[in-house]
Structure 1
Amino acid sequence: MPRGSQHDLTGILLGDGPYPVLRVDDGGEWRLDVSGRYHHLLGRRVRVSGTRSEFDMLDVKRIEPA
């Protein structure tokens, strides 16, 4: 997947480390560069839209409960 590609993903939002992590259904994980409020979604199933900025990082445009 090239950098700059758009992604719409669904999974569980985890709060490990300096970045929140989205664990998707196939077992993959994405680090999320997200600003704003997201802590109330930790541990819940969410839908994330964003742009790939690094190997395993998404710049989040939208995050919401799934």
Structure 2
Amino acid sequence: MTPFADYLFQLRRARGLRQHEVAARLGLGAAYISALEAARKEPPSPAQCSCPRNSGHSDIVKLLMLQPV
């Protein structure tokens, strides 16, 4: 596991969120969140984050810092 993958997993679990809940909040697929946490995918670069649907890793972390809904 990469440091980002581990951090994403720990943060999501601490917030009591499931992968599909994070995915829905970001407009992404749960498989993508799973791949990020398993380090099968690299977080997107800022250049890839030009629209809200393609949120970058900083957006994912910011979202997970919010309280669960």
Instruction: Output the TM-score relative to the length of structure 1.
Output: 0.28
Whichever structure has more helix as a proportion of its residues is 2
Instruction: Output the TM-score relative to the length of structure 2.
Output: 0.28
Whichever structure has more strand as a proportion of its residues is 1
